[in-house]
Amino acid sequence: MNIGVEKPMINLHPHPSHIAQVIRDIADAYTWTSFTFLYESGEFLPILNELMDLYKLGGPFITVRRYDLQLNGNYRAVLRRVRKSDDSNVVIVGSTQSLPEVLKQAKQVGIITEDYNYIIANLDLQTIDLEDFRHSEANITSFRLFSPDQPEVKKLIQELGYPEDDNERNITCPITTEMALLYDAVQLYAETTKTISFRTIPLNCSDASVWDKGETFGNYMALSVKEGLTGNIFFEAGIRTDYTFEIVELTSAGLNKVGTWHTENGLTTSRTMPSSDVVSTGELSLANKTFTVLLALNAPHAMLKQSTVKLSGNSRYEGFGVDLIKELAEKLGFNFTFNIHVDDNYGFYDTITNVSTGMVHEIMEGRADLGVTDLTITSERESGVDFTIPFMNLGISILYQKPRKDPPKLFSFMDPFSGEVWVYLGLAYFGVSLSLFILGRLAPPEWDNPFPCIEDPTELDNQLSLGNSLWFSTGSLLQQGSEIAPKALSTRVLASFFWLFTTIVVASYTANLAACLTLESPTSLINDVKDLADRKGGVNYGAKSKGSTRNFFKNSEDPNYIKMNEYMIAHPEQLTSTNEQGVEKVLGGNYAYLMESTSIEYNVARICNLTQIGRLLDEKSYGIAMRKNWPYRDKINDALLELQESGVLSKMKNKWWNEVGTGGCTTKSEQSEAAKLGMPNLGGVYFVLLVGSLIAAACGIIDWLFFVFRKARHYQVPFKDALKEEFKIVVDFENNTKIVRSTGSIYSRNSFSTIEANDSEESSEH
Ligand code: GLU
């Protein structure tokens, strides 16, 4: 674009001094006290020169910076310098060729925001796709020679076959200033030829010969006044004058005319130009703004969508983070473009060296507005970027292979009951046998005539000898029965309760044995983080090499974690770049992976031979990262809080963790081990047995005392003597035979026989 550096005879292009004047007038209207003059190359320096002349010694403080087209299209360094300077007013003077890239990169480094004001001294802004900047809220002002709404321009657009409104490319006019000027020049030439005519002669391009009538023709041209596409065409000393620039401002609806600038009358605006020094206090709205959202691919936060058809744009991605942004966008009305962060490093920020990496770096550099993935909120990152309120809580834990089952043990039949139950079972067995033996001795019906054909026996036998009592208990316990059948009330009560007891105990044993045999207790080499630190079982371990988990161990002061950090420093081969690599290593065996609990949960639900070992080592959260002091942070936080309170976040978590692509692995711990039955389970049965034994004892004693009382009355002897005599017989444990006929007693034992015999007969009839 020739902007008229050399002085030609006539030049249709506005003179640099006019461009400088427009810049000055707009800057003054904005009350700029300083600005950065960002120019493309030496070709544009005359404008700066004119500007300096206009301001003389007064005027705003101007910082001059050059962005060079020679730098392979990378202007970020100079744009970053603009950002680092305190100047938020920028005048960009450059070619239409470089302008889109400059604006794009300015957006990437974060200087196309509402904090910045621009005057773009390029007459072709309407020919550039401004879609990405329309919602930036940056105050972008420019000027142009003609409006796409002019009827002549519209006609020309039509004649040239352009669509009237190039919506697809988001430009308002396909006609460039150069085209319009050329059009006007041709028209002017044609007009001039109408006035005068010269005979033209052929010229040789390779020599210096000129058309001798050229100067005269030029003078004629300069004198003709014409209304062209670019306005009034009028020259003074070869410089175009008496024409108007349209002042335009970029809004979310596109370029909007806000005033005019005339070579004579200067700037006239249709509204008050906002002063750059006045900070808008209005409600910041995200509606219709477009943000770049950086995603790091890590399931289930962000994943590439599987599809049979070719996907494009945002629809290529799915996951929790993707849904989260969609929900926020729906609530707040903003648009977004997903970009993928290819580095596995989510990023850190070193406050001392001011060096940032990963996603954090991208956001700090302004190349993304938001960063979403399993990005942990850490204090270190917070000094470089801001985070939203946490949207998910987690902690570090251990991912390990599910413990393998033990080989069956020789005495695994003992497993259904705890040791305590077995001990009490033994005590119950002996206790009942002994009780039966004693009650048998007390109970007259248990004393039997050993020779049933002898009607008047001399001695009586007790079937419940100690051996028989033990045999009876054994038979009952093993549910096999025995030929011994208690006859007295007391012994029968005791036997009944013991049978009830054995029925329940045996049923419980059988039921639990089945469970114990099918689900043998699994064993794991490691049970907690201490086992890892102690290298129990020689298990190797590691974490994601560039992540907050690794950093936790680097910064911890716990002796176990210090030990683990030293191990990880000494064994870098155990660290991984991604979580997936960690999972693969765990599946390879003899390796435990220190991972965030949410990721463990996700993998354990899908890979059934993985499990989480031990508790959480810390507590932290994920958040969405954004530029420091990003003005929309509060709005995003409010929306996030609403999503949390309405249960949308937990629903989304459930969807991506437990519904999409789960393998149906069960994580219930009781499935892995059958519990032994202990006293808490069986205590009640023991209690019932004890109560039954006491009832039986009471029956036995009452029965016995009643028998002694009857005997004493029958034989007219004192109750005490009879009791003494009977007691001796009962405690004569060695003797299981009762002598019926005896003369050694204070009263004839003979006399007892009738009653005893009668008693035993009576009871056998029962
Ligand atoms: N969430 C971690 C981070 O933000 C990555 C995974 C990890 O370190 O375990 O760095």
CA of 344 to the centre of ligand 1 (A): 10
Of 662, 696, 725, the last residue of a domain is: 662
Residue 396 Cα: closest atom of ligand 1: 9
Same domain, 356 and 449: no
CA of 377 to the centre of ligand 1 (A): 9
Nearest 5°: the CA angle 658, 663, 666 is 75
CA of 599 to the centre of ligand 1 (A): 10
Side-chain half-sphere exposure of 313, counting CA atoms within 13 A:
4
Using alpha carbons, list the distances in angstroms from residue 256 to 126, 145, 284: 10, 14, 21
- 376, 564, 568, 586: residue to mutate for ligand 1 pocket, most atoms within 8 A of CB: 376
The predicted pLDDT at position 743 comes to 41
Same domain, 446 and 366: no
Query: Can you spell out the DSSP letters for 4-56?
Result: --S--S-B-SPPHHHHHHHHHHHHHHTT-SEEEEEE-SGGGHHHHHHHHHHHT
CA of 658 to the centre of ligand 1 (A): 21
CA of 244 to the centre of ligand 1 (A): 59
Condensed to tens digits (0 to 9), the pLDDT of residues 189-201 reads 888 887 777 677 7
Spatial contact of 147 and 153, defined as CB atoms under 8 Å apart: yes
CA of 555 to the centre of ligand 1 (A): 15
Q: Which helix (H) or strand (E) holds 640?
A: helix 633-645
Nearest 5°: the CA angle 302, 307, 310 is 100
Task: Reduce the DSSP state of residue 376 to 3 states and report it.
Answer: strand
Same domain, 83 and 220: yes
Contacting residues for 242 by C-beta, under 8 A, at least 6 apart: 232, 234, 262, 263, 264
The mean pLDDT of 71-86, rounded to a whole number, is: 80
Q: Which helix (H) or strand (E) holds 158?
A: helix 151-159
The residue to which tokens 């958040």 are assigned:
623
Give me the torsion for CA of 521, 523, 529, 533, rounded to 10°: 160
The predicted pLDDT at position 164 comes to 59
Condensed to tens digits (0 to 9), the pLDDT of residues 496-523 reads 999 999 999 999 999 988 888 776 566 7
Bridge partners, 612 (sequence order) = 399
98 within domain boundaries: yes
Residue 543 Cα: closest atom of ligand 1: 9
The residue to which tokens 């960002």 are assigned:
38
Same domain, 300 and 204: no
Which residue, judged by its Cα, is nearest atom 8 of ligand 1? Answer: 547
Q: How many domains does the chain have?
A: 3
Residue 281 has pLDDT above 70, yes or no: no
The mean pLDDT of 427-452, rounded to a whole number, is: 89
Condensed to tens digits (0 to 9), the pLDDT of residues 348-362 reads 998 888 889 999 999
Residue 741 has pLDDT above 50, yes or no: no
DSSP code, position 749: T
Condensed to tens digits (0 to 9), the pLDDT of residues 658-717 reads 988 886 776 555 445 567 888 888 889 899 989 999 999 999 999 889 888 888 888 888
The predicted pLDDT at position 147 comes to 86
Show contacts of 184-190: CB within 8 Å, 24+ apart: 184/12, 184/226, 184/228, 184/229, 184/230, 184/233, 185/12, 187/226, 187/228, 188/12, 188/221, 188/224, 188/226, 188/228, 188/233, 189/221
592 within domain boundaries: no
The predicted pLDDT at position 508 comes to 92
Spatial contact of 110 and 365, defined as CB atoms under 8 Å apart: yes
- 257, exposed or middle or buried, with CB in 10 Å at 0-12, 13-18, 19+? middle
Mean pLDDT of the chain: 85
CA of 376 to the centre of ligand 1 (A): 6
Which token pair is 313?
Answer: 């744009």
pLDDT band at 621 (very low <50, low <70, confident <90, very high): very high
Cα distance between residue 733 and residue 722, in whole Å: 19
How many CB atoms are located within 10 Å of the residue 167 CB? 10
Contacting residues for 628 by C-beta, under 8 A, at least 6 apart: 364, 384, 385, 386
Same domain, 256 and 365: no
563 within domain boundaries: no
537 within domain boundaries: no
Residue 766 has pLDDT above 50, yes or no: no
Name which residue leads in pLDDT, 204 or 745: 204
Instruction: Please state at what angle helix 679-714 crosses helix 719-731, rounded to 10 degrees.
Output: 130
Q: Where are the beta strands (DSSP E) in 545-609?
A: 591-596
DSSP code, position 657: I
**At residue 407, what is the residue type?**
P
Residue 550 Cα: closest atom of ligand 1: 8
Nearest 5°: the CA angle 330, 388, 381 is 140
Condensed to tens digits (0 to 9), the pLDDT of residues 196-233 reads 776 777 777 777 777 777 777 777 777 776 788 888 88
Residue 374 Cα: closest atom of ligand 1: 1
Q: Which helix (H) or strand (E) holds 691?
A: helix 679-714
Residue 375 Cα: closest atom of ligand 1: 4
pLDDT band at 133 (very low <50, low <70, confident <90, very high): confident
Bridge partners, 177 (sequence order) = none
Cα distance between residue 94 and residue 76, in whole Å: 16
- 297, 360, 548, 594: residue to mutate for ligand 1 pocket, most atoms within 8 A of CB: 548
The mean pLDDT of 278-302, rounded to a whole number, is: 78
Query: Can you spell out the DSSP letters for 598-635?
Result: HHHHHHHTTSTTEEEES--S--EEE--EEETT-TTHHH
Of 662, 697, 727, the last residue of a domain is: 662
Q: Which helix (H) or strand (E) holds 610?
A: strand 610-613
Nearest 5°: the CA angle 647, 651, 653 is 115
Of 244, 269, 294, the last residue of a domain is: 269
Residue 347 Cα: closest atom of ligand 1: 10
Secondary structure, 3-state, 216-248: HHHHHHHHCCEEECCEEECEECCEECCCEEEEE
Q: Which of 127-131, 189-193, 646-650 has the highest mean pLDDT?
A: 646-650
Residue 2 has pLDDT above 50, yes or no: no
The predicted pLDDT at position 448 comes to 82
The sign of the dihedral angle between the CA atoms of 687, 692, 697, 698 is positive
Residue 474 has pLDDT above 70, yes or no: yes
CA of 375 to the centre of ligand 1 (A): 6
Which token pair is 99?
Answer: 């302008």
The predicted pLDDT at position 578 comes to 95
Residue 551 Cα: closest atom of ligand 1: 8
CA of 289 to the centre of ligand 1 (A): 30
524 within domain boundaries: no
Same domain, 191 and 219: yes
Q: Which helix (H) or strand (E) holds 697?
A: helix 679-714
Which residue, judged by its Cα, is nearest atom 10 of ligand 1? Answer: 547
Condensed to tens digits (0 to 9), the pLDDT of residues 453-470 reads 777 777 888 888 889 999
Residue 346 Cα: closest atom of ligand 1: 10
Residue 381 Cα: closest atom of ligand 1: 4
Cα distance between residue 60 and residue 119, in whole Å: 14
Spatial contact of 418 and 679, defined as CB atoms under 8 Å apart: yes
160 within domain boundaries: yes
Condensed to tens digits (0 to 9), the pLDDT of residues 527-571 reads 999 999 999 989 999 999 999 999 999 999 999 999 999 999 999
- 341, 349, 374: residue to mutate for ligand 1 pocket, most atoms within 8 A of CB: 374
Same domain, 361 and 424: no
Which token pair is 29?
Answer: 């209207």
Q: Which residues line ligand 1 (CB under 6 A)?
A: 346, 374-376, 543-544, 547-549, 595-596
pLDDT band at 291 (very low <50, low <70, confident <90, very high): very high
597 within domain boundaries: no
Which token pair is 486?
Answer: 């208690």
CA of 592 to the centre of ligand 1 (A): 16
CA of 306 to the centre of ligand 1 (A): 25
Q: What percent of the chain has pLDDT over 90?
A: 41
DSSP code, position 659: I
Residue 576 has pLDDT above 60, yes or no: yes
CA of 543 to the centre of ligand 1 (A): 9
The pTM (predicted TM-score) of the whole model is: 0.47
Side-chain half-sphere exposure of 155, counting CA atoms within 13 A:
6
Name which residue leads in pLDDT, 569 or 749: 569
Condensed to tens digits (0 to 9), the pLDDT of residues 655-666 reads 999 988 886 776
CATH number at residue 287: 3.40.190.10
Same domain, 628 and 725: no
CA of 605 to the centre of ligand 1 (A): 20
CATH number at residue 198: 3.40.50.2300
Alpha helices in 266-382 (DSSP H): 320-332, 358-364, 379-382
CA of 643 to the centre of ligand 1 (A): 24
CA of 544 to the centre of ligand 1 (A): 7
Q: What range defines the domain where residue 692 resides?
A: 417-518+681-765
CA of 625 to the centre of ligand 1 (A): 14
Q: What percent of the chain has pLDDT over 70?
A: 89
- 346, 579, 612, 616: residue to mutate for ligand 1 pocket, most atoms within 8 A of CB: 346
Phi-psi region of 729 (alpha: psi -120 to 50; beta: other; left: phi over 0): alpha
Cα distance between residue 730 and residue 441, in whole Å: 5
Residue 549 Cα: closest atom of ligand 1: 8
Minimum mean pLDDT among 52-61, 200-209, 640-649: which range? 200-209
CA of 539 to the centre of ligand 1 (A): 22
Same domain, 37 and 93: yes
The predicted pLDDT at position 3 comes to 46
The predicted pLDDT at position 165 comes to 57
Contacting residues for 593 by C-beta, under 8 A, at least 6 apart: 398, 399, 400, 541, 542, 543, 576, 582, 583, 585, 586
| End-to-end Cα spacing for the chain | 129
Residue 278 has pLDDT above 60, yes or no: no
Residue 594 Cα: closest atom of ligand 1: 9
Side-chain half-sphere exposure of 118, counting CA atoms within 13 A:
30
Q: Which of 147-161, 402-416, 482-496 has the highest mean pLDDT?
A: 482-496
Cα distance between residue 663 and residue 681, in whole Å: 35
Cα distance between residue 708 and residue 722, in whole Å: 6
The predicted pLDDT at position 368 comes to 92
- 356, 382, 392, 549: residue to mutate for ligand 1 pocket, most atoms within 8 A of CB: 549
The predicted pLDDT at position 748 comes to 38
Same domain, 118 and 212: yes
Residue 612 has pLDDT above 50, yes or no: yes
- 295, 344, 375, 391: residue to mutate for ligand 1 pocket, most atoms within 8 A of CB: 375
DSSP code, position 112: S
CA of 374 to the centre of ligand 1 (A): 7
Same domain, 294 and 380: yes
- 713, exposed or middle or buried, with CB in 10 Å at 0-12, 13-18, 19+? exposed
Residue 595 Cα: closest atom of ligand 1: 9
Same domain, 503 and 433: yes
Q: How many residues does the chain have?
A: 766
Q: Which of 101-115, 234-248, 604-618 has the highest mean pLDDT?
A: 604-618
Which residue, judged by its Cα, is nearest atom 5 of ligand 1? Answer: 547
Which residue, judged by its Cα, is nearest atom 6 of ligand 1? Answer: 547
64 within domain boundaries: yes
Helices (H) and strands (E) in the chain, counts: 24, 32
The predicted pLDDT at position 118 comes to 94
Spatial contact of 295 and 340, defined as CB atoms under 8 Å apart: yes
CA of 549 to the centre of ligand 1 (A): 6
Residue 381 has pLDDT above 60, yes or no: yes
Residue 622 Cα: closest atom of ligand 1: 1
CA of 364 to the centre of ligand 1 (A): 19
